[in-house]
Amino acid sequence: MKLGKSLISNAISSPIGLFTVIVFVILSVFLITGCISSTPATNHTRNTSMVMPLQKIVTSTPIPTLIQSPLENNSPSTGATVEMPFINITPVTDHNLGDIIQFSGTTNLAPRKNLILMIFAQTMQQCNKCQSCDDSVEPCRRGIQQTVIVESNISGINTWSWDVNTSQHRFNWGTPYFIQVCTENNSICDYTKFKLKAR
């Protein structure tokens, strides 16, 4: 200790030694200050490096969205278009009494399906009894009836037809007649009106 004190006192007693001591003290203060201030800076840098990746993960997470199925937009159930069954009669032009008329039409019913066709007078009236009431279109009779089958067609729309000889069944010119076509259970029907002209 005495030796250290003597060295310091000797260094202070000379101008050069005093300058050296002052420089040493200043450097020591800077070093100590730098060590103290560098520690929080290092800690701050470490804290930032730990927080930033967590923020990136949170902000980059996509928000879940529901994607609606195209089938749900088309239909409440399957989305398929359901076609209702139909039977159509081709418009009938006026014919002469005695002509053979082909009544026909289209349908989306399956091939080989039975259809019931009837022809009867528009106006019903009383008349004498007859033995062929079921085969007459007179106004007081039941009309004529025929069962036909649906025929397949390459176009996808099936057809049906019935040839009727108007020289039979007591047809009369000028009388309005109806032709009606129905399924066997009468769930689907169509009808139209026609007349016969005198020759």
Q: Quick: pLDDT tens for 154-194.
A: 887 999 999 999 999 999 999 999 999 999 999 999 999 99
Residue 119 CB partners (closer than 8 Å, separation 6+): 137, 143, 144, 164, 169, 177, 178, 179, 180
The helix/strand/coil state of 124 is coil
How many C-beta atoms surround the C-beta of residue 53 within 10 A? 9
Number of domains making up the chain = 2
pLDDT 10s digits, 85-114: 999 999 998 899 999 999 999 999 999 999
- Residue owning tokens 């040493």: 24
In terms of domains, do 36 and 100 share one? no
- In this structure, the answer to whether residues 104 and 26 fall within a common structural domain is no
Q: What is the mean pLDDT of residues 5-34?
A: 63
Task: Give the range of the structural domain holding residue 16, as residue numbers without chain letter.
Answer: 2-60
Based on the domain organization, do 136 and 54 belong to the same domain? no
pTM: 0.56
Residue partners of 161: CB distance under 8 A and separation at least 6: 102, 103, 104, 105, 148, 151
Q: Are residues 139 and 49 in the same domain?
A: no
| Cα separation, 185 vs 198, whole angstroms | 37
Do residues 22 and 112 share a domain?
Answer: no
Q: Which pLDDT score, from 0 to 100, does residue 21 have?
A: 64
**Residues 21-79: tens digit of each pLDDT:** 677 777 776 666 665 454 444 444 444 444 444 444 343 434 333 233 333 344 455 66
Indicate if the pLDDT at residue 81 is higher than 60: yes
Please tell me the chain's helix, strand, coil percentages from 3-state DSSP, rounded to the nearest 5. 35, 25, 40
Judgement on whether residues 92 and 55 belong to the same structural domain of the protein: no
SS3 3: helix
Higher-confidence residue of 105 and 9: namely 105
In tens, the pLDDT along 125-148 reads: 666 666 556 688 988 777 899 999
